[in-house]
Amino acid sequence: MDIPRLVIAAAHSSSGKTTLATGLMAWLTRQGYSVQGFKVGPDYIDPAYHQLVTGRPGCNLDEWFLGADGVKEAFVRACRGADIAIVEGVMGLFDGYGSQGTGSTASIAKILNAPVLVVLDVRSLARTAAALVRGLQVFDPDLHLAGVIVNRVGSPRHAAMVKQAIEENCALPVLAVLPSWSDLALPERHLGLKPVFEQMEQVKQLVDTLVDRLSGALDADRLWQIARTAVPVSGVRPAIWGDRDAGAKTFRLGVVYDEAFNFYYWDGLDYLATLGAELVFCRALDGRLPADLDGLYIGGGFPEMFASRLATNRQFMADLKEYYSRGLPVYAECGGLMYLCRELVDLDGEGHCMAGLIPARCIMQKRRAALGYVTAHTTRPTLLGPAGTVLKGHEFHYSTLQYDGTPPSPALEMQQAFATATSSGGYAAGNLFASYLHLHWAANPRAALNFSRACRQYARREKKGGGGEHVMA
């Protein structure tokens, strides 16, 4: 695929990648271009910022989930109808896993034949900034490092020194020299950035200001010249989605999507759509659960921040219990798992009544409970397939479960990727499956197919006036 593209990278985290990538997408969109945003890795918060400013779903490019061929396929699918693609990197440019940095920003850039712009935080640096850029240049000669955006300069003299050092010693253009702009910092929380859904108006105002400032600081002509140097993505083949496209809808899948639950991989939802899912978005914070669903998906999010509001919407919980008792397939991950517990204890130690489908208390902690990629297998038949079904997921949570009485047998045996640590977890009972794992459905095609079959089976039973317990397809 031949589309102009840029990867926005950095030497380390907290350099301003998300702010600048989002601002750049907004600036291009307001120039009249259709912009497709991407995020390297499993992050589900940053893509929501991209979606807000571009009007297109933000997508993830994760080599561990999708492999190199899957990354290419996902990129090409998402870019249909776009004029330019902007890929926001993750951590430092070469930070990935394994000795070769698989899954890093640099690895994704090479898979996509994309030029890279480095955002360089130059606080307390002058000529040394050029040494850092030069190191990034020579570390991997196959990477197309094409330019630099200098961030957080302290004065005009400082800006001139850094710009001159980089351009003279690295032969790279400096596309912008930006001050600290501390008033434009995006607010953070324990899982990273505060989700855009909780501060929509604030983020819109921030983006307006950011676009105005970038307009006077960015070398737009050079940026487009660099973006157009991207070599067409080669070797694209139907590795995951195949030749399927979202066609005839065979079952209605409810997706809880509100301020409390919004951590979804949009390519994963797209994959379910190719299997026949008609996505029906609903809210647990207010309103009712739609009555004509054939399955329900409750994703991750921050239910602990909205626990009191969730607890007061007893009607949604009553609907959920009723349809669950009739056999509605219910799949929940992380925040969804927390919501399905009997009680959620927030960071202040206050308990809130939740849906009660899982006989446990979910207790928030000050320290992180888990983080990282996980390979798991089911210990018995579940919504996702027979015993031994392999799952690839990602964990990131600050809560733990305390079951009522004797803990049930775990539904999953898990091993942390690139480590020897193992654990068990997950809850499965009849037509319910819940765990802390965030699944990318396109990376778990067998589980996605089994879940889809369970939803279609329920739909057929309902049309016949059946109901009752879930039976594995």
3-state secondary structure of 112: coil
Determine the Cα–Cα distance for residues 350 and 7; give it in Å rounded to an integer.
Answer: 43
Question: Percentage of the chain with pLDDT > 90?
Answer: 82
By the 8 A CB rule, do 358 and 411 touch?
A: no
Task: Find residue 301's DSSP bridge partners.
Answer: 261
pLDDT band at 100 (very low <50, low <70, confident <90, very high): confident
pLDDT band at 8 (very low <50, low <70, confident <90, very high): very high
Q: pLDDT tens digit string along 192-204?
A: 678 888 888 888 9
With 0-12 CB in 10 A as exposed, 13-18 as middle and 19+ as buried, what is 278? middle
Q: What is the location of CATH 3.40.50.300 in the chain?
A: 5-227
Q: pLDDT tens digit string along 109-156?
A: 999 999 999 999 999 999 999 999 999 999 999 999 999 999 999 999
Most distant CA atoms of the chain, gap in Å:
77
Task: Report the pLDDT value the prediction gives residue 473, as an integer from 0 to 100.
Answer: 33
pLDDT above 60: residue 187: yes
In the chain, the N- to C-terminal Cα span, in Å, equals 39
pLDDT above 50: residue 12: yes
Count how many Cα atoms sit within 13 Å of the Cα of residue 292 in the half-sphere of its side chain: 7
Report CA Rg, the chain. 23
Determine the Cα–Cα distance for residues 438 and 262; give it in Å rounded to an integer.
Answer: 12
Domain 5-227 has CATH 3.40.50.300: yes
3-state secondary structure of 351: strand
* Residues ≥6 apart with Cβ < 8 Å to 380: 387, 409, 411, 428
How many residues are there in the chain? 473
Q: What is the location of CATH 3.40.50.880 in the chain?
A: 251-463
Task: Report the pLDDT value the prediction gives residue 468, as an integer from 0 to 100.
Answer: 45
Task: Report the pLDDT value the prediction gives residue 180, as an integer from 0 to 100.
Answer: 83
For residue 24 the two structure tokens come to 């750049």
Q: pLDDT tens digit string along 372-406?
A: 999 999 999 999 999 999 999 999 999 999 999 99
For residue 281 the two structure tokens come to 């978005």
Taking the model in full, what pTM does it have?
Answer: 0.93
| Tokens 């593209």, located at residue | 5
Task: Report the pLDDT value the prediction gives residue 189, as an integer from 0 to 100.
Answer: 60
Catalytic-labelled residue, pool 282, 334, 341, 455: 334
Q: pLDDT tens digit string along 218-256?
A: 999 999 999 999 999 988 888 898 766 656 679 999 999
For residue 94 the two structure tokens come to 């070469």
Mean local confidence (pLDDT), 353-358 = 98
Assess whether 79 carries a catalytic annotation: no
Mean local confidence (pLDDT), 83-98 = 96
pLDDT band at 470 (very low <50, low <70, confident <90, very high): very low
3-state secondary structure of 209: helix
Mean local confidence (pLDDT), 406-433 = 93
Mean local confidence (pLDDT), 350-359 = 98
Task: Report the pLDDT value the prediction gives residue 472, as an integer from 0 to 100.
Answer: 38
- Mean pLDDT, the chain, rounded, equals 93
pLDDT above 70: residue 50: yes
Task: Report the pLDDT value the prediction gives residue 238, as an integer from 0 to 100.
Answer: 84
The CATH superfamily label for domain 251-463 reads Class I glutamine amidotransferase (GATase) domain (3.40.50.880)
For residues 263 and 371, the model is more confident at 263
For residue 244 the two structure tokens come to 């399927």
pLDDT above 80: residue 90: yes
With 0-12 CB in 10 A as exposed, 13-18 as middle and 19+ as buried, what is 323? buried
Got the DSSP string for 299-313? Answer: -EE-GGGGHHHHHH-
pLDDT above 90: residue 28: yes
